[in-house]
Amino acid sequence: MLPVASCQLPVASCQLSSILKYKSKEAVVGIVGLGYVGLPLMLRYNAIGYRVLGIDIDVDKVAKLNAGQSYIEHIACERISKARASGFEATTDFRRVSECDALILCVPTPLNKYREPDMSFVIDTTNAIKPYLRAGQVVSLESTTYPGTTEEELLPRVQEGGLTVGENIFLVYSPEREDPGNPSFETRTIPKVIGGHTSNCLQVGIALYEQAIDRVVPVSSTKAAELTKLLENIHRAVNIGLVNEMKVVADCMGIDIFEVVDAAATKPFGFTAYYPGPGLGGHCIPIDPFYLTWKAREYGLHTRFIELSGEVNKAMPEYVVGKLMDGLNNHGKALKGSRVLVLGIAYKKNVDDMRESPSVEIMEMIEAKGGIVAYSDPHVLVFPKMREHHFELSSEPLTAENLVSFDAVVLATDHDRFDYELIRSKARLIVDSRGKYRAPSEHIIKA
C-alpha cells in the first residue's frame, strides 16, 4: 500500500486516506497565523492529541511561544508551556508546510485607507505556502472575507503546482468565531460553519474540524460560508448603529437610552438588546461589513443599510469628544490645554485586544484639538505598537490623587477592574460613553 502522503490513489481513496488521518489523530495540523484566532485553535488541537505546527512571520511571537510564553492576556503562559511539552512548535520557516496534513490560515483581513478590502495578508500567505503544498493536504481559510475569495484567490494558487482541488488536495472555508475574553464560550463549544470547494473537499474539512469542535455546520459552498460570517457581523454592526443613533436622539430628549434598552429587553420575544458605545472596535464588526459593500458594487448593488450604519458608528468617537468639549465648557475650560484621562483603550471590556479600538480615535482627536491625553487600562499597561496609531504612553495608576489631577476623564471601555465609585467621587468631570453611571450628577455627562 502506498503511503497516505503521496495519494497516488483514485480520488475516493485519497479522500478516504485523508479523512482517516484526522479521525485517528495521526495528522499534523499546521496553523498559519498565531494571533487571537490561531492561538486558541492551536491549543485546542494540541489538547486533543494532534501534533501542531504553528507558522507565523512575527519572529518575536514565535520566540515567545517556543519559550512557553503567551502574548495574549486571556491565554495563560502555563497553557503554552503545556502545549510545548506535548509537541507544539512554532516556526517562521514556511518550508515546513510540507510536514503538515492540514493548513489552517488565520491571518488578518483589514481595510485599506480607502475602506476597501486589503487582501495582502491572505494572498501573501497563500503565495508563501504554495511551493510546499503536496497531495493529501487540506487548506482551510478562516479569515473573514468577501464571498468568492476562496475561489478567486486561493483556488488558482493552490493548483498552480499541478495539484487538483477536490482530487488530491482539498480546499475549504471555515470562518473564525472567536470572542476574546468571553468566559461563556471556547473554541470547542462554538459551532463551526464550513463550506468546501467540492463535496470531497467538504468531507475532508468536516473530518478535520469535527474532532476539535462539538458541532460542525456544513453549507453548500465556500461562498455561502464566507457570506455567513459577514451576515453575523453585519447584523451586529447594523443594530449597534441603530442604537447609537437612538442614543443621540434620546440624549436630545433628555432620556437615558440605557434605561430604555434595559426596559425593552424585558420583552420575551422579538427584541435583542444592543447597547450604544463610543464606536465599534475589534477586528470584525468595524471592518467586515465593508467587505460586502465592496463586493456588492461588482454586481451593481448599493448596500444602503450597511453603509448608513457604518457612517453612524464611525461618527461616535467624534460625538464623545464633542460631549467632552461641552462638559469642559460648562466648567469654564477649553479642551486645548486640558488634561484628559481616557479610561480603557482595549476595544471591549476585560481584554487586552486593541484592534480598531474607538478609544484610540478618541485619544487622537483630543490630542489634535490641543488636549493633553493620558490613559488608564489594567489590561494594556504600555501602549502597543500599532500599524496606524502611535502614542508613547503607559497606563496611569487609577488613584484618588491621580484622578483629581485631570480636568476630565472619558469612560471609553468599562473594564470590571475599574473602581467606579472612586472614579465617581474623585474625577472632576466624567464623560460616560458606556452607561455605567445611571444616577444624574452635575459632573457626569452621558455620551
391-410 tens-digit pLDDT = 999 999 999 999 999 999 99
Q: Is 435 part of a structural domain of the chain? A: yes
Q: Is 197 part of a structural domain of the chain? A: yes
Considering the domain architecture, whether residues 72 and 204 belong to the same structural domain is answered as yes
- And the C-alpha cell for 422? 472612586
How far is CA 213 from its chain centroid?
19
Considering the domain architecture, whether residues 102 and 177 belong to the same structural domain is answered as yes
Which long-range contacts link 322-327 to residues 24+ away (Cβ below 8 Å)?
323/431, 323/445, 323/446, 323/447, 324/366, 324/408, 324/410, 324/431, 324/445, 324/447, 325/369, 326/445, 327/408, 327/429, 327/431, 327/445
Q: Which of 220, 236, 264 is the last residue of a domain?
A: 220
**Average pLDDT of 12-31?**
92
Helices (H) and strands (E) in the chain, counts: 16, 13
pLDDT band for position 288 (cuts 50, 70, 90): confident
* Calpha distance 259→33 (Å, rounded): 42
Q: Which of 183, 203, 220 is the last residue of a domain?
A: 220
Considering the domain architecture, whether residues 162 and 211 belong to the same structural domain is answered as yes
The number of domains in the chain is 2
Phi/psi for 251 (5° steps) reads: -65, -40
Q: Is 236 part of a structural domain of the chain? A: no
Query: Is the predicted pLDDT of residue 315 greater than 90, yes or no?
Result: yes
Among 133-147, 184-198, 279-293, the least confident range: 279-293
What does DSSP assign to residue 27? S
* Calpha distance 235→289 (Å, rounded): 9
Q: Where are the beta strands (DSSP E) in 352-424?
A: 372-376, 408-411
| Nearest CA among 352, 357, 265 for reference residue 320 | 357
Query: Is the predicted pLDDT of residue 306 greater than 70, yes or no?
Result: yes
CB 273 within 8 A of CB 239: no
**Average pLDDT of 215-232?**
97
Domain that holds residue 401: 246-446
> With pLDDT > 70 as the criterion, what percentage of the chain qualifies?
98
Report the 3 state secondary structure along 196-245: ECCHHHHHHHHHHHHCCCCCEEEECCHHHHHHHHHHHHHHHHHHHHHHHH
Among 50-64, 104-118, 220-234, the least confident range: 104-118
Q: What is the predicted pLDDT for the residue at 388?
A: 75
pLDDT band for position 9 (cuts 50, 70, 90): low
| Nearest CA among 309, 317, 318 for reference residue 289 | 309
Q: What is the value of pTM for the model shown?
A: 0.90
Considering the domain architecture, whether residues 89 and 212 belong to the same structural domain is answered as yes
Q: Is 225 part of a structural domain of the chain? A: no
CA angle in degrees (0–180, nearest 5) for 248-250-254: 115
DSSP readout, 295-333?
A: HHHTTT---HHHHHHHHHHHTHHHHHHHHHHHHHHHTT-
Q: What is the predicted pLDDT for the residue at 5?
A: 43
Q: Give the three-state DSSP class for 139.
A: strand
CB 302 within 8 A of CB 328: no
Measured between alpha carbons, how far is residue 16 from residues 203, 207, 265, 308, 360 in Å?
9, 10, 49, 48, 50
Q: Give the three-state DSSP class for 441.
A: coil
β-partners of residue 421 are: none
Q: Is 227 part of a structural domain of the chain? A: no
Considering the domain architecture, whether residues 215 and 250 belong to the same structural domain is answered as no
- Which sequence positions are flagged as catalytic? 284
Q: Is 240 part of a structural domain of the chain? A: no
Q: What is the predicted pLDDT for the residue at 2?
A: 31
Considering the domain architecture, whether residues 280 and 193 belong to the same structural domain is answered as no
Backbone conformation region of residue 75, classed left if phi is above 0, alpha if psi is from -120 to 50, else beta: beta
pLDDT band for position 10 (cuts 50, 70, 90): low
Considering the domain architecture, whether residues 134 and 268 belong to the same structural domain is answered as no
pLDDT band for position 387 (cuts 50, 70, 90): confident
Tell me what the pLDDT averaged over the chain comes to.
94
Considering the domain architecture, whether residues 408 and 442 belong to the same structural domain is answered as yes
| Nearest CA among 331, 330, 406, 327 for reference residue 372 | 406
Residues in the chain, total: 447
pLDDT in tens, 423-442: 999 999 999 999 999 988 99
pLDDT band for position 25 (cuts 50, 70, 90): very high
* Calpha distance 349→444 (Å, rounded): 20
Q: Is 31 part of a structural domain of the chain? A: yes
Considering the domain architecture, whether residues 214 and 252 belong to the same structural domain is answered as no
Q: Is 19 part of a structural domain of the chain? A: yes
**Average pLDDT of 155-173?**
97
